[in-house]
Structure formats: C-alpha cells, structure tokens
Amino acid sequence: MMMPSAVLLVLSFVGVVVGLASAGSSAHLNIRFPEGQAESFIKALNLVPGAAEVSFIELDSPKLVESPISIHVHGDPDSSISAEQLGQHAGYFRLQNTHASRMFYLFFESRRDKASDPIVLWMSGGPGCSSELALFYENGPFQITNNLTLVWNEHGWDKVSNLIFVDQPIGTGFSYSSDLRDIRHDETGVSEDVYSFLQAFFEAHPEFRENELYITGESYAGHYVPAVTSRIHQGNKAGEGLLLNLKGFAIGNGLTDPEIQYKAYADYALEMGLISEEVRDKLNKLYPACDLSIKMCGTSGKVACVASYLVCNSIFNGIMAMIGNVNYYDIRKECSGSLCYDFSKMEIYLNQPSVKDALGVGHRKFVSCSPLVYEMMLVDWMRNLEVGIPTLLEDGIKLLVYAGEYDLICNWLGNSRWVSEINWSGKQNYSTASTKPFLVQGEQAGIMTNFGPLTFLKVHDAGHMVPMDQPKAALEMIERFTHGGSLEELPFDIIKQVVNDGGM
C-alpha cells in the first residue's frame, strides 16, 4: 500500500538521499532535505530497525534456503488435507547480480489441490511495505487474534492457489542487504530481482513448473506487477532460463498510470461528496503543472520524476487539507495510526523470538514499511507502467484490474480510466463492452467490464484493501480469474445458491 500523507511530511525534514543512476552512466545525484527532527520522527513510527538488532545469513550460503514452517494455528483449515500435511515454507533467496541481497518469501501450498491449482505471487506496495501485511490481514492462510494467536482464514487465497508472498524491493519486511547499493530505485531493478527469484523458486520446486503462474499485488504494486509480468514474458520469449507458465496478472487499487490517475483525484472526491465543485475546479487548476512534470519525468525515472512527485501530490494533499482526518484508504472511516490502520499485532507477533526462529530470519527485526525503500523509489513513482501492458494483452496474457469503491488514494475512477486508455487492438471493443454485475452466490458484489483478456472490476463496499474488506468476493474473484478467465458467476454457483434457498 502507499504510505500515508504523514510520511509525505518526512520530505520536509528527513535527510533524503536519492541515488539516481542514469542509463549507461555512473553519475549520481543526491537530494538532501533538512534533517531537523528526522531521527525522533522515524523512531516514533517504528519503521527502521536498529543496526544492532539485525543479523545476516552468511554470504556463501546456497542461492535459495527454504525450510518448512511449524507454527500452531487454531481451528480447522477447511481442507481435505490435514494441517500437519499442508506444505508451508519460509525462505531466503540470495539474489544474483547484487552485492549482498537476501529476498525473504513465504510459500503456502494450496489447501485444495497443489498439483493443479495455479501459483499466485503476491506483492504489497508502499513502496516498501511488507507482503506480510496482506498475509495476515487480507488474503493469506492465517489471521492474527487479539491474544496474538493464529486462526485459519476462511477466505485465504491458498484455498484455491499455491500462494507466494515476497518481501520486495530489498529492504522491505524481512528482506535485506548489508550493502546499500542493493536498494532499488526503479522497476528494472525490481523486475530483475523478482524474475531471478522465480527462476530459483521453480528450479527448487520442479513439481510446480507446469502450474499456471499469476502475478498479483496491490497499491504501489500497480508498478511492480506490470514490470515483473513483462520481465517474465520477455524471458519466456527469449528462451532465458526456465520457461515459466505465465497466464495472467492482477492489480488491486494500484498506481499504474499517474498522468491519468492524478487527474481523477478531484473528480473522484467530488463524486463521493468529499469536496464541492468550487474546490474541484481549484484543484483542477493545479493539474496542468502536474501533467507537464509527468511528461518531463517520462518513463526513464530521473530527477524530473522527483519534482513531478512533489508537484502532483499537491493535488492529493489539497483534498486531504479539505477533508481532515479521513482514512484515505477507506473514506468511510477515520485515519488512526501511522498507516491509518493498526497493524501493531502483526509487528508484535513477527518479532517474537519463537516466530522468528520458525521463519528462519535470525534476529532481524520486522517492520511493516521501510522509509528508506520508499525514499529510494521516489524517482519511480510518477513513471507510467501501463506502457508494457499492450504487448502482454496482444500475446494473450490476461489482466484483471480491480478496485474498492471507497479508496481515495488509488481510487476506482482513475483506475477505470487508465484501463480504458490502454492502446491495444481491443481498445475499441473494450470501450463499447457492456457493464455487468459481479455476482457472488447470487448477490451483486461489484460491477465489471470485460473484453478478451482485459477485465476491470469495481468492488462494492470495499476500500483500498479489497481482500480485507470483502474477503468472500475477493476469493471468488481470484478463483474465477485464475481458473477460467471470466468473472461472471459460474453456473454451479447459481445452482448452489438455489439449493441453499430450498429450491430444486
């Protein structure tokens, strides 16, 4: 997920050093802001572990180190496979072409049929927020109770897929490097790292090489997911390494095409009754400068992109100044805590010595989101990651873009607009396609538009984190997308509903 506007204030007083490497050049540019109260502010957010609390795996260890997880979970996993037999793994991958990087991941075999169910890779956003946020609060196998025990998630995506959560870019969650040169600042680095990880993963798990592969994620993963999917597709076409059985990718409430999405902010805020038409018109006067700065940023990610980030976020910050303490991830709620949600239970749980031993992470302290990763990715923020999507669609790689209707920061309106503007052969047919209800057990859970491999879904009664707000709908969504391609209600779902209602 994106970091809150509170963290945007870090730019006013945190010492930010953004290393920008030009293509084919070793030149770097450092941008520094006054430090002021930076150290105390960061400590208050509890985002950065102390150096003395970090331990590192030996650098000469094998490329991929993985072990089964043995953590007690209360209740019934609702599976024909016993809890003891379910394959659950945690591991580190020593990234190639880096100085000292270790990428942490968790892998959960399907509770249904691991041999035939797809592999679904999940990446959380931020940039710099751990995928364990999704694991424990959205679509993972477990949920954390108030007394810091685990219970099975009735709607975990591992019920219909083999599910991988990865902490990336390096510096996120439990992933680390002892060399700051390994901290990524663009999607080239991000996609190369994840591609290398997947190559190593399938080399270590040959039994899953034939399973269909889907790349998914949320929020800033609107950048990660297209980049990683394109890198896999390019590798497959070029015959690099193992052939990965890539079939599709899905983006939830993502930031993908800033030029279109930032323009939608004021319109969305007006539509949802957050601002008046007068305020909307004033905010729209800020957009030409934003649009120009995005065009100067282009797709290469250089210093103009940092300027664009600052210029364009004045629109979002202008809305927030008008609406006060509203949760910009779910405008129905108030913002509470540094991320507008309380994820403290997860941090306490994952920092228990017994849990860290079970995960094999040594003494490394877990933090939900890393400001260092966030700051280093500022040059990437305003880049347009839609540009690689047309080729994927033309080659039959399916795309699902979904968005909860009450999210402001990556709102459904901006997402629907950039999807409509994808320049591919099916653009005209998609634009004239009828909008259909997304039904889950006979009830409307959203509305969708589809043509060929492209689908957009607006999810009702959900904010930024759709699997948390509407877990049943999210599980149905990912199952239909990864098992058939259409989000329309399957006949057997309707039959089940009729039977449950006493018919037939």
How far CA 34 is from CA of 15, 37, 231, 379, 447, in Å, comes to 6, 9, 38, 19, 47
Residue at 5 is within a domain:
no
Closest CA to 401 of 268, 262, 256: 256
Q: Let me know if residue 411 belongs to a domain.
A: yes
Which candidate in 308, 407, 416, 469 is catalytic?
407
Question: In total, how many domains does the chain have?
Answer: 1
Tell me the CATH number at 101: 3.40.50.1820
pLDDT tens-digit series, residues 289-327 = 999 999 999 766 678 899 999 999 999 999 999 999 999
Burial 361-393 (b: 16+ CB within 10 A, else e): beebbbbbbbbbbbbbbbbbbbbbbbebbeebb
Instruction: For residue 479, tell me if it sits in a domain.
Output: yes
State residue 439's pLDDT score: 96
Q: For residue 127, is the peptide bond before it cis, meaning its omega torsion is within 30 degrees of 0? A: yes
pLDDT digits (tens, 9 = 90+) for 96-133: 888 889 999 999 999 999 999 999 999 999 999 999 99
Cα separation, 187 vs 189, whole angstroms: 5
> Quick one: pLDDT at residue 97?
82
Continuous segment of H or E residues that includes residue 438: strand 436-440
At residue 474, the pLDDT reads 98
Determine which one of 155, 205, 223, 464 is catalytic. 464
Name the token pair of 37: 């109260």
Amino acid symbol at 97: N
In a domain, 43, yes or no: no
Annotated catalytic residue within 196, 219, 308, 370: 219
Q: Which amino acid is at 231?
A: R
Where the chain has pLDDT below 50, the residues are 2-59, 491-504
- Ramachandran sector of residue 324 (left: φ over 0; alpha: ψ -120 to 50; beta: rest): left
H-helix or E-strand spanning residue 226: helix 221-238
360: phi then psi, degrees, rounded to nearest 5: 75, 35
Cβ 408 vs Cβ 319: under 8 Å? yes
**Domain range holding 86?**
57-256+343-376+383-496
Decide if 219 is catalytic.
yes
> What is the gyration radius of the CA atoms in the chain, in angstroms?
22
Residue 430 lies in a domain: yes
- Say if residue 133 is exposed, middle or buried (CB neighbours under 10 Å; 0-12, 13-18, 19+): buried
Confirm whether 311 is domain-assigned.
no
Residue 331 lies in a domain: no
Residue 261 domain-assigned (yes or no): no
pLDDT at position 490: 57
